[in-house]
């Protein structure tokens, strides 16, 4: 009986050994069944965060554009010759659409193969501005004419705006206001001299372009520092919404990162240029691309160029 039991146990052990020998490592993982080596912060190496890979020459291009109604998009497609003979925007249908400057920057920063465009004054180190036709995107190059990708920052008002709204406009156009414009990284316009307002009180609503919004925020801050009786509300959207809000009386001052349309002027708006800004074509910091021609940018955004390998 004991001998029979021994034979059965031996047979069972043999089957188990043969089964173990027949197992394969999942997906060819040589480390299957081992404990992952921890990183310095005791996080398993397989879960450690990694930086986006650099753009490769054979990678597809992720084209990111702004929404319809954006003044930055309007200026971009015009400056890069992306309007057909009927003035229709030829941006490729497959382009991803973002609705603000900050979302555009975050999107490009997170995709090593992405390209987009933003206000030059909003540029920071999270993305890289490509040279255009050999010229870097900078205030100095806009002023000397070597970087021709620029557009006006405008505000729009109706006749009969409140005393405090008019006073704020006068501050923006004064030397004091234009110093704020210049210190914020934009190109100033000819100023009207030192600000000499009377500190009227009341509420002002400013609405529109997300590209103009950063410098407007600085202007509001500087104005409130000398006129604490004012209450200014800033609403950020896009240029077309800002103009419509000014026409409809929803806001006192509209913001547009483009010239006013004829229809907006015919509706009673008066446009006032408060600064000049460049448009920066941006790529991921890991991109191998440092410069493009205007024609290459046009071809990328219209879909004629779809792969980074096509960039000479």
Are 119 and 142 spatial neighbours (Cβ–Cβ below 8 Å)?
no
Residue 197 is classified by DSSP as -
Q: Which residue shows structure tokens 């036709």?
A: 133
Instruction: Identify the H or E element spanning 177.
Output: helix 175-183
DSSP output for 40-67 = TTS-BGGGS--PPPPPPTTPBPEEEEEP
CA distance 169 to 246: 14
Using one digit for the tens of pLDDT, what is the confidence trace for 248-273?
A: 999 999 999 999 999 999 999 999 99
> For 143-191, how does the pLDDT look when each residue is reduced to its tens digit (9 = 90+)?
999 999 999 999 999 999 999 999 999 999 999 999 999 999 999 999 9
Give the H or E element holding residue 270: strand 270-283
pLDDT band at 58 (very low <50, low <70, confident <90, very high): low
């Amino acid at each position: 009986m004991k001998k029979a039991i021994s034979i059965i146990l031996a047979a069972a052990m043999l089957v188990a050994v043969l089964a173990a020998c027949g197992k394969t490592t999942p997906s060819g993982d040589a480390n299957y069944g081992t404990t992952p080596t921890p990183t310095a912060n005791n996080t398993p190496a397989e879960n450690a965060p990694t930086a986006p890979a650099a753009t490769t020459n054979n990678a597809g291009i992720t084209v990111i554009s702004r929404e319809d109604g954006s003044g930055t998009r309007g200026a971009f497609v015009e400056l890069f010759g992306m309007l057909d003979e009927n003035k229709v925007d030829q941006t490729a249908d497959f382009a991803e659409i973002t609705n603000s400057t900050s979302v555009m920057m975050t999107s490009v920063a997170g995709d090593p193969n992405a390209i987009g465009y933003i206000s030059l004054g909003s540029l920071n180190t999270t993305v890289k501005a490509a040279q255009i036709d050999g010229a870097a995107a900078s205030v100095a190059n806009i002023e000397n004419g070597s970087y021709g990708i620029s557009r006006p920052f405008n505000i729009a008002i109706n006749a009969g705006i409140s005393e405090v709204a008019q006073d704020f406009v006068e501050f923006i156009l004064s030397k004091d206001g234009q110093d704020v414009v210049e210190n914020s990284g934009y190109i100033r316009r000819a100023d009207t001299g030192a600000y000499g307002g009377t500190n009227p009180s009341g509420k002002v609503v400013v609405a529109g372009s997300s590209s103009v919004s950063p410098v407007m925020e600085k202007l509001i801050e500087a104005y409130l520092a000398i006129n604490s009786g004012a209450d200014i509300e800033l609403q950020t959207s896009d240029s077309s919404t800002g103009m419509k809000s000014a026409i409809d009386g929803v806001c006192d001052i509209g913001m547009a990162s483009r010239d006013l349309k004829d229809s907006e002027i015919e509706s009673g708006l008066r446009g006032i240029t408060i600064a000049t800004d460049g448009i920066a074509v941006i790529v991921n910091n890991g991109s191998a691309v440092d410069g493009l021609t205007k024609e290459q940018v046009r071809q990328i955004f219209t879909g004629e160029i779809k792969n980074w390998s096509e960039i000479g």
